[in-house]
């Protein structure tokens, strides 16, 4: 199987797997215990914290380990001070659902999938306490103007959170330069195991714990730390970022040359370098995904957390993409291990599958 679904999850890197295995055998103590085995585990966790902090450009004490991006998003949004929240229509469900539990305003995006900072400014209220705008969209890869919005948040006296799950490990991330107060990441998006993530919490930010029962993680996230997962995520964080933009650009060029009636969503705005979101007029995306799977290629119809949904992608809907085209859209996401030969083969398989499906489609003339 040639794997083109890295935005859903990534293969565990050998370096991360080795770190995980070593932690299971060597650092089995509870990191809250004061005996030698416990302190060995604590040392491993704190070394890992420093590695993740280096990836984000922050101090180690500003990193809170979580079970993944969803928990990090929930902690940021539900743990922030009570008051009005501003977010966008294209956020991950972990953000939208959490914001839905608060007094929230959801702002629109333009046809390219980017939010206009002026829309954020217009949504401000005297009681606005938090603005949450993702760094990179999980379906289109489109990058948001986070630094500009963070400046608006500072002027308004509000906290700024960004869901960086699809950005970390794919582009350079410097939370200080971005100006954010809170930033979520998930290890399995950059070749660490599933079940571990982190939330950057700027020093001085008051954040109420959402998981209680202990004083772990500076009293922000109760529960014994997942030592093997944390150590493995740190190993993955230290790896050089995969070089995918030439492959992604070549893929899109070949698709546009060989296949008619294709739309690449967000193509003319900044994106993460590994993601293509393509609509093929006149077909159903699920049929195309199945055809490619049978041919040995793994792609997706969009966000993995929304698989099985009958309505079109909420991201494409927010962008104003017509429902028929939204239902004809797939996501191709590349990563560590993707080769030029993989790309060429995928284009050939796409050309064949799209042509066959269009011949069978009454919607394509």
Does residue 310 surpass a pLDDT of 60?
A: no
Q: Within 13 Å and on the Cβ side, how many CA atoms surround 73?
A: 25
Q: What's the pLDDT tens digit per position in 73-88? A: 999 999 999 999 999 9
- Give tens-digit pLDDT for 87-98: 999 999 999 999
Known catalytic residue at 305: yes
Catalytically annotated residue among 24, 58, 277, 305: 305
pLDDT digits (tens, 9 = 90+) for 164-184: 999 999 999 999 999 999 999
In the chain, what percentage of residues exceed pLDDT 70?
98
Percent pLDDT > 90 in the chain is 91
Mean pLDDT of the chain: 95
Mean pLDDT of 211-215: 86
Contact assessment for residue 331 and residue 302, using Cβ atoms and an 8 Å cutoff: yes
Q: Is 90 exceeded by the pLDDT of residue 307?
A: no
- Model confidence at 305: pLDDT above 60: no
Q: pLDDT value at position 46?
A: 96
pLDDT digits (tens, 9 = 90+) for 253-270: 999 999 999 999 999 999
| Domains assigned to the chain | 2-9+242-360 (3.90.1150.10), 14-237 (3.40.640.10)
In the predicted model, is pLDDT for residue 190 greater than 90? yes
> What is the mean predicted confidence (pLDDT) over 235-250?
98
Cβ-count burial 306-344 (b if 16+ within 10 Å, e if not): beeeeebbbbbebbebeeebbbbbbbbbbbbebeeebbe
In the predicted structure, residue 119 carries a pLDDT above the cut 90: yes
pLDDT tens digits, one per residue of 44-78: 999 999 999 999 999 999 999 999 999 999 999 99
Question: Over 80: is that where the pLDDT of 136 sits?
Answer: yes
pLDDT at 303 over 60: no
pLDDT at 308 over 70: no
């Amino acid at each position: 199987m040639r794997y083109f679904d890295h935005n859903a999850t990534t293969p565990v890197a050998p370096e991360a797997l080795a770190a995980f295995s070593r932690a299971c055998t060597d650092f089995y103590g509870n990191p809250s215990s004061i005996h030698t085995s416990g302190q060995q585990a604590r040392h491993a966790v704190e070394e890992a914290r420093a590695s993740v902090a280096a990836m984000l450009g922050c101090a180690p004490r500003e990193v809170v380990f979580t079970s993944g991006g969803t928990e990090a998003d929930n902690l940021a949004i539900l743990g922030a001070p009570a008051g009005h929240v501003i977010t966008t229509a294209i956020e991950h469900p972990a953000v939208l659902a959490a914001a839905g539990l608060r007094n929230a305003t959801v702002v629109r995006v333009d046809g390219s999938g980017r939010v206009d900072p002026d829309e954020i400014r217009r949504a401000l209220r005297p009681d606005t306490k938090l603005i949450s705008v993702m760094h990179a969209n999980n379906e289109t890869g489109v990058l948001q103007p986070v630094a500009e919005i963070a400046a608006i948040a500072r002027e308004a006296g509000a906290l700024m959170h960004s869901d960086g799950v699809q950005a970390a490990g794919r582009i350079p991330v410097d939370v200080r330069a971005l100006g954010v107060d809170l930033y979520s990441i998930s290890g399995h998006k950059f070749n660490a195991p599933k079940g571990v993530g982190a939330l950057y919490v700027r020093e001085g930010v008051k954040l109420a714990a959402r998981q209680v029962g202990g004083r772990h993680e500076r009293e922000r996230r109760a529960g014994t730390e997942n030592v093997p997962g944390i150590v493995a995520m740190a190993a993955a964080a230290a790896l050089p970022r995969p070089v995918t933009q030439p492959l992604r650009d070549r893929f899109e060029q070949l698709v546009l040359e060989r296949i008619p009636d294709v739309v690449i969503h967000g193509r003319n705005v900044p994106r993460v370098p590994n993601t293509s979101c393509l609509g093929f007029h006149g077909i159903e995306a699920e049929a195309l995904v199945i055809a490619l799977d049978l041919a040995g290629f793994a792609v997706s119809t969009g966000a993995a957390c929304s698989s099985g949904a009958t309505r079109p992608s909420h991201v494409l809907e927010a962008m104003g993409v017509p429902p028929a085209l939204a239902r004809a859209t797939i996501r191709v996401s590349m990563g560590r291990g993707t080769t030029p030969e993989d790309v060429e083969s995928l284009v050939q398989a796409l050309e064949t599958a799209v042509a066959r499906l269009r011949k069978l489609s009454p919607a394509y003339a």
